[in-house]
Amino acid sequence: MSFFDLEHPIVLGPFGGMSSVALTAAVSEAGGLGSYGLYGYDGDRIRSTIAAIRAATSKPFAVNVWLPRGDEVAPNPQHAVFAQALEPFYSAVGVDVPQRPEQYLPSLDEQTEAILEAAPAVLSVVFGVPSESLVEEAHGRGIRVVGTATTVAEAVALSNAGVDAIVATGAEAGGHRVSFLKPAEDSLVGLFALLPQAVDAVDVPVIAAGGISDRRGVAAAFALGAAGVQVGTAFLATAESAASEGHRAAIGSTAADETVLTTAMSGRLARGARNRAVRAIEASGTIAPFPMQNWLTGRFRAAAGEQNLGELQSLWMGQAAPLARYASAREAFEELVAGVPDGR
């Protein structure tokens, strides 16, 4: 019997802002666990998104939310200062400098209420430990809970909270470093060091993430004790993802040593290509705290995506991006499954 009773222990990485119903459904239909990132979604949008995924597949799927860390800033008078610093980027895509909103993000309570009501098969969380009440209510509705760790200590904390599985995400992974016990800059453990230690430290299944893009990475992860693998960049490069053509092109042209960890685009550390926007914002030295920076850059990044201006987007990708050569989700999935040991 495979991990979570899946036909194949392959999990799609959830993409905040770049998930698509088509990709989520494609991975689930292939026998894996499709995932959809709900960062920034309010309750109504969560309900409609889960309904759309259900209309596209009858198979299990996961949704993902970010837990508050307690350091998030609310809209304040500094908004105008940081917004004006980004004016050249707004001008480049033809949008106005955005005014201060009432809030940058919906509340976690609003998000989890909608998720619990819709009852997907799996709820995954990043940036913290889910509350005892959330885990209990999810379990009461038949929802499995998955946490995400960047260190062994985080894996232990999640296990103690009663999660059903833990994603061990190495520093090679693309996107945000989701550390929560120590600063992300102090939690940069590579997957092949993190994975076996996390497996030894907890009694729940551990899912490997970071630097896995083909059958070789899958086989190596299982050799180190993984119960499943979570893959992001390889699927992000496929036609079914919500990535722009510019983003897909960057995945195919960025070498492993050309990705960087930066706070420029969101105010939190994340791995991606160092494009024009990242270089300019880093050079300015003016980066708002999270989630203000993420909201502010999001206004020009969305327009840049529509205009296929990759130099002004968040080109998140992991260090195995050069291995992500798949045109379709099915092609990527079949390659990954080829690395799963018999009987898993």
Q: Which residues of the chain have pLDDT under 70?
A: 1-2
Q: Which residues pair with 271 in a beta bridge?
A: 175, 261
Do residues 146 and 62 touch, judged by C-beta distance below 8 A? yes
Q: Is 144 exposed, middle or buried (0-12, 13-18, 19+ CB in 10 A)?
A: buried
- Give dist(CA 281, CA 236) in Å, integer: 25
Distance of alpha carbon 293 from alpha carbon 67, whole angstroms:
17
What are 278-296's pLDDT values in tens digits? 999 999 999 999 999 999 9
Q: What is the pLDDT of residues 191-216, one digit of tens each?
A: 999 999 999 999 999 999 999 999 99
pLDDT at 1: 36
Omega before 88 within 30 of 0, i.e. cis: no
Q: Among the CATH numbers 3.30.465.10, 3.20.20.70, 2.40.50.140, 1.20.120.1730, which is that of 3-71+105-253+320-337?
A: 3.20.20.70
> pTM (2 decimals)?
0.96
Cα 280 from Cα 200, distance rounded (Å): 43
Tell me if 164 sits within 8 A of 104, measured CB to CB.
no
Instruction: Say how many C-beta atoms besides its own lie within 10 A of residue 291's C-beta.
Output: 23
CA-CA distances (angstroms) from residue 301 to 16, 20, 93, 294? 13, 17, 9, 10
Strands 165-169 and 206-209: parallel
